[in-house]
Amino acid sequence: FEQDTDTLKAWDKAHVWHHMTTGQTADAGLTMFVRGEGLWLWDIDGQEYLDATAGGVWVTNVGYGRREIADAVHQQLLDLNYFAGSMASKPASAFAEKLLGKMPGMSRVYYSSSGSEANEKAFKMVRQIAHKHHGGRKHKILYRERDYHGTTLAALSASGQMERREHYGPFLPGFVEFPHCCEYRSQFGDVEDYGARAAQALEDVILREGPNTVGAVIVEPITAGGGIIPPPAGYLQAVRDICDRYDVLLILDEVVCGMGRTGAWFGYQHYGITPDIVTMAKGVASGYAAISCTVTTERVYELLKEDAGDTLGYFRDISTFGGCLASQAAALANVAIIEREGLVENSARQGERLTEGFRTLAERYPMIGDVRGKGLFQGIELVTDRASRQPVDESVPMAIVARCKAHGLLIGRTNRCVPGFNNVLNFSPALTATDQEIDTIVERLDRALHDVTPTL
């Protein structure tokens, strides 16, 4: 780009309609990042930032500036840049084999190019199974309050976040919400079997709707934009049992949690369950290419076949950029880095260091009500006082995000999902984070908290 900085900024201001990400909503478009390496970013004015958001929305799992991935993409573009996913290709088959090796019990990979699209594919699989095997009746998809599954209208119809939904109704028929669960805000008080009791809310909705009308349930294993909420003990296992009891498919949205983010290859693997369908996107190629996958069991694949003699798995769907070979080559190089550098293990280890750092800050800042998460996927819930757990006004997390940026640290905050709740800061650095980088996140956050709040 030959143009000077001021011209580029002026063009941006005049012409680019920016996305609303969780962290940068207040200053969308105000910073032009031009280079990255590992967890570090530089803007066009030369300012340096430690990025604890993995590219704003949990994407760059292996960090910025990985030559190995750029080389793999380069080579694939020269060998063969494109042919539709109806044909076999080297990178598609090699990545599917590699991926399924991380997902015992799963069997088939369907490629597309965004998280929303991967979820759309899952919903279409459910609908096709309903039409083929249940006369169209078992078509409903149950989704959970506070979970987000994407921006397209069906994915948004399956999303329980007010901030994203308002203005876009009416939504598609056949998508039904069920209550979320968050141990910190238990609706049953302090009970031992919270997970099982919270899952009961799902069974109640299945029974209310009629089990013979319900085809699938979709959840985020750990809710991301809705508040970094890991499931309580026993919850996902209970959800799995309920799905089995009523012949309902369980779809897990691993768009954020997948590819090592939580300290396991996939978030659900912390909880010992096997889903029917898993969707993934962001970390699949760490932002070096647009790629997503809908992964199913052999049973789901079999259910989609027209008849016993059909060997193709007849899913009536197509995705032009699901056949993007360079994206699959990027995914393969990405997974090789995660394996070779032990990044899943590093995510688990550094996640603990980050949690410890936050707990130390909590000793001095009474506003920190809860620290939670898994691996390098951590949230801090902010309250006006710990006894009442009253959420802080949303201006507080916005101010903290802004002060962090002023101190050279990029962090995120969660979406407004239900009225009054927009009070969680989120932290998700690249999985390559070192001890020193984790400590820098905590130090810079400390400075930002000090700027906006009194200490104990």
| Binding residues for ligand PMP (CB under 6 A) | 57, 114-116, 148-151, 220, 224-225, 253, 255-256, 281
> Which residue lies nearer to ligand PMP by CB, 92 or 251?
251
Which are the contacts of 172, defined by CB distance < 8 A and separation ≥ 6? 153, 154, 157
- Are 19 and 28 in contact by the 8 Å Cβ rule? The answer is yes
For residue 393, the 8-state DSSP code is P
* Distance of alpha carbon 83 from alpha carbon 86, whole angstroms: 8
Residue closer to ligand PMP, measured from CB, 116 or 440: 116
In angstroms, the CA 123 to CA 154 distance is 8
Reduced to 3 states (helix: H, G, I; strand: E, B; else coil), residue 50 is strand
Q: How far does Cα 145 stand from its chain's mean position? A: 15
What's the closest the beta carbon of residue 432 comes to ligand PMP, in angstroms?
Answer: 21
Query: What are the residues facing 144 on neighbouring strands?
Result: 178
Beta carbon nearer to ligand PMP, 25 or 151: 151
252 vs 380 by CB, closer to ligand PMP: 252
Is 5 or 151 the residue whose CB approaches ligand PMP more closely?
Answer: 151
CA–CA separation, 301 vs 107, rounded Å? 8
Minimum distance from CB of 365 to ligand PMP (Å)? 28
Between 203 and 276, CB nearer to ligand PMP: 276
Residue with tokens 């009474």: 366
Q: How far is the CB of 150 from ligand PMP (least distance, A)?
A: 4
Residue 108 Cβ vs ligand PMP, minimum distance, rounded to whole Å: 20
Q: Which is nearer to ligand PMP, 19 or 245 (CB)?
A: 19
DSSP track, 123-191? HHHHHHHHHHHSTT-S-EEEEEBT----SSHHHHHT-B-HHHHTTSPSPPTTEEEE----GGG-TT-S-
**Amino acid letter, residue 150:** G
Phi, psi of 163 (to 5 degrees): -60, -40
User: Cα separations (Å) of 288 from 114, 299, 329?
Assistant: 13, 32, 10
Least distance to ligand PMP, CB of residue 277, Å: 13
User: Other C-beta atoms within 10 Å of 234: how many?
Assistant: 18
Q: Between 148 and 288, name the residue whose CB sits nearer to ligand PMP.
A: 148
**Nearest-approach distance from CB 22 to ligand PMP, in angstroms:** 8
Residue nearest to ligand PMP (CB): 115
CB nearer ligand PMP, residue 365 or residue 427: 427
How far is 175 from 120, CA to CA, in rounded Å? 12
Smallest gap from residue 413 Cβ to ligand PMP (A): 14
- Convert 316-352 to b/e letters by CB count within 10 Å (16 or more is b): ebebebbbbbbbbbbbbbbbebbeeeebbebbbbbbe
Question: What is the nearest approach in angstroms of ligand PMP to the Cβ of residue 147?
Answer: 7
> Residue 255 CB, nearest distance to ligand PMP (Å)?
4
CB closer to ligand PMP out of 278 and 281: 281
CB of 188 to ligand PMP, least distance (A): 26
